[in-house]
Structure formats: C-alpha cells, structure tokens
Amino acid sequence: MLIVGNWKAYVDTLEKAKRLYAAGKRLAATGRHDIVLAPPAPYLGFFSAANRSNVEFAAQDVSRSPGGAATGETTAAAIASVKATYAIIGHSERRAMGETDAMVLAKVREALRCGLTSILCVGETVRDPEAKYLAHLRAQIAAVYEPLSEKERRGIVLAYEPIWAIGKSAQDAIQPQDLNEMVLYIRKVLTEYLPARTSAKTRILYGGSVEPANIRTLAEGTGIDGFLVGRASTDTGAFGALVKALS
C-alpha cells in the first residue's frame, strides 16, 4: 500500500521532524509498504535532498508558476530538484483558502511537467441524502482530467478525502462499505478518461481520520490502494502502529 504522511502544519521544530523522519525510515525499510512523507517545505528540502532511504517525499503544495517574479511561491521544479517525487495538490485545506479547480489543474500540470507524481485531493463537504456529492466528486475529477493528455492522467494518484471526515477521530471516518462504494464510483469516472486497463492501475487513496484503530478495516475489501494520513502521521507511535496494523 501507499501511505502518505501529510504533516500539514503540525510540526514546527526540526527535532520533531527528525524523529518523524527516522520513524518513517524504519517503516519504509521493511519494504512492505511505500512510505511517503509530506513535511512542511523547510524540512522537505532539508531531508529530501540528502535522503538515501526507502522513504519518498511529497510537497504539500506546489506553485502554478513556472518560476520568476513570484515571491513566496515554491515551484515544482525546485521541489523536484531536492528529489521529492510527489506533490499533494488541491487539498481541501488549500481549497478552503481560495484554491479553485482551475488553479488545481494548473498546479497538477506544472507538477507533472517537472516529473512529480500528483496526489490530487478530491472530496465532498457533506454526504447529502440525494447523493449530490457524487456529482460534486465527478466535477472535481473532470475539471482536472478532461484537459490533460492521457500520459498526464497516468501521473496522478487520486486521494479521496471527504471533508466531513478530516481531522476528527476513527469513529468519524468513513465506513468501509461506503468507502468501497466510493472507490467503485471513482474507478467508473476514471474509465471516462483512461482506457480500462490503465484506469484500473490508478492508485486511489483514502484520507480523513485514519488511525491505528480503523486503518485495517478501511483497507480490507474496500479496493483502496493506500492512505493519506494527517494528524496520526505526526505522532511517531501512532504512525508506526498504523502502518504495522496493515501488515
């Protein structure tokens, strides 16, 4: 499975970042799962450039700008230059700060152009009884996939992160049966943009209150290929327990 630890802005000392990186390396060394860490930008540069372990690195965001006069932006090229291999794009916390589908598309394009695999986050705010959330999800996926070439579409990992489940606890996460339905739905949408064999290979992650207590049930029989873990990835004990629970 692909496990991405999204540290968000939870980590703000180098000491803590080092401890989490060391724990990630130990988990990655077993080779059982692909471990990707997404630290805040300063730690990403600090660790990733010198990384010789099985851990891979992701940026939490990338700039739409290819570079130049864009103060405060971190370009995909700069991220790739420190040997990070993934970029989380369109996280709901970035969308809540004003990021539109058009901006998300531009970021995905820029990340792919620089050789980064895009972890494209999609997800509904609420699960309404009329199931309008399905159309919302389809629209988020279409906004990015439609304008891209087939080659570009293949460079995307989809992270399904229902906003109502983010940042809470295990009992608030999605139920395994509902997750299974969502994975099937997303796979169906993907067949509109990729040939069947290729779309089946697109990795789909789940994110939203993944903890050691629920990761196993969310992994079994749901068709999911991995997890995007926020809060629990910033506690060495919880992250270790969570990855081990999968083995």
Active-site residue list: 91, 161
**Of 155, 207, 212, 226, the one binding ligand PGA by CB under 6 A:** 207
Residue with tokens 């109502």: 164
Q: 215 with 1: CB under 8 angstroms?
A: no
Burial of residue 100, with CB atoms counted within 10 A of its CB: 0-12 exposed, 13-18 middle, 19 or more buried: exposed
**Of 229, 239, 242, 243, the one binding ligand PGA by CB under 6 A:** 229
**Of 33, 109, 153, 231, the one binding ligand PGA by CB under 6 A:** 231
Output the furthest CA–CA distance in the chain (Å, rounded). Answer: 50
**Of 76, 186, 218, 228, the one binding ligand PGA by CB under 6 A:** 228
Rounded to a whole number of angstroms, the minimum distance from the CB of residue 122 to ligand PGA is 12
Tokens of 17: 């970042």
Q: Please give the Cα distance from 235 to 45 (Å, whole number).
A: 21
Instruction: Look up residue 58 and give its amino acid.
Output: A
Site string for ligand PGA, 144-183 (x = CB under 6 A): -----------------x----xx----------------
Q: Examine residue 210 and tell whether it contacts ligand PGA (CB under 6 A).
A: yes
Question: How many chain residues interact with ligand PGA (CB under 6 A)?
Answer: 13
Beta carbon nearer to ligand PGA, 4 or 193: 4
Q: Which of 186, 237, 193, 191 is nearest to 212 (CA)?
A: 237
Q: Examine residue 212 and tell whether it contacts ligand PGA (CB under 6 A).
A: no
Beta carbon nearer to ligand PGA, 156 or 210: 210
Rg (CA), the chain: 17
Residue with tokens 């699960």: 127
Beta carbon nearer to ligand PGA, 39 or 230: 230
Q: Examine residue 6 and tell whether it contacts ligand PGA (CB under 6 A).
A: yes
Q: Examine residue 137 and tell whether it contacts ligand PGA (CB under 6 A).
A: no
Tokens of 100: 């539109």
Q: 88 with 121: CB under 8 angstroms?
A: yes
Binding site for ligand PGA (CB under 6 A): 6, 161, 166-167, 207-210, 228-232
